[in-house]
A and B are shown apart, each in its own frame.
Chain A
């Protein structure tokens, strides 16, 4: 059971906007930087968002993220079939002295 809670799955149709939530606490999300990763099974995970809402160079601007209090969210606009992947939030936890990953959300493009 992760200290960061993500929905196990979500879905959307092409062109739609979907959001993935990540719920934590004051020992992690509220006071530390949230990062998001995209992972296609069998491949290397990819950093999608760092420092709460910053996109690394080369990441599509269809991906955005925000944080408020003890929760964070990732938004994907203009959904495409190639966005079908697993998405993870991650953040340092001050109480556990560990980097914690959310359980991951499997995105299906219908």
Chain B
């Protein structure tokens, strides 16, 4: 099972950009689909992006399509989330997670906080 550690969360101004990183430890990373899920303050969980291990077409939630980009570097066991044109409603804890059969997320990282100030 992979162990996941996110980093890169920060306070950023509205309209700004930020790149989140997720470091994975484990031998199965290159074969694993990886996803990002977020939780805004006082809100529920929201899936935002997934990318297969083979680097096929990514999938995005409508709320971030055109602004966020998921990518990965398999030799480095890393997955990234490039976030552009940030808005106040992007403020959330962002989790990376391994995606298994049936789009189940397990395990999850500990999360990293992104705060977008207006």
A interface with B by C-beta (< 8 Å): 2, 32-33, 35, 37, 39, 44-47, 50-51, 56, 86, 88, 90-92, 96-104
Chain B contact residues: helix, strand, loop or mixed: strand
> For A98, what are the chain B residues with a Cβ–Cβ distance below 8 Å?
47, 59, 61-62
B63 to chain A, nearest CB (A): 9
The 3 lowest CB-CB distance pairs between A and B, nearest first, are A33-B102, A47-B106, A99-B47
The distance in angstroms between the C-alpha atoms of A104 and B37, with both chains bound, is: 14
| Any A CB within 8 A of the CB of B110 | yes
With both chains docked as a complex, state the minimum distance between the C-beta of A96 and any C-beta of chain B, in angstroms.
7
25 A-B residue pairings within 8 Å (CB atoms): A2-B44, A33-B102, A33-B103, A35-B102, A35-B103, A39-B45, A45-B45, A45-B95, A46-B108, A47-B105, A50-B100, A50-B102, A50-B104, A51-B101, A51-B102, A88-B44, A90-B104, A91-B103, A92-B102, A92-B103, A98-B47, A99-B35, A99-B47, A101-B44, A101-B45
Shortest distance between the CB of B4 and any CB in chain A (Å):
9
Min C-beta distance of A68 to chain B, whole Å: 17
Q: A residues within 8 A CB of B102?
A: 32-33, 35, 50-51, 92
Q: Which residues of B contact A (CB under 8 A)?
A: 35, 37, 44-47, 50, 59, 61-62, 95, 100-111
Tell me, in angstroms, the Cα distance from A83 to B102 when the chains sit together: 25
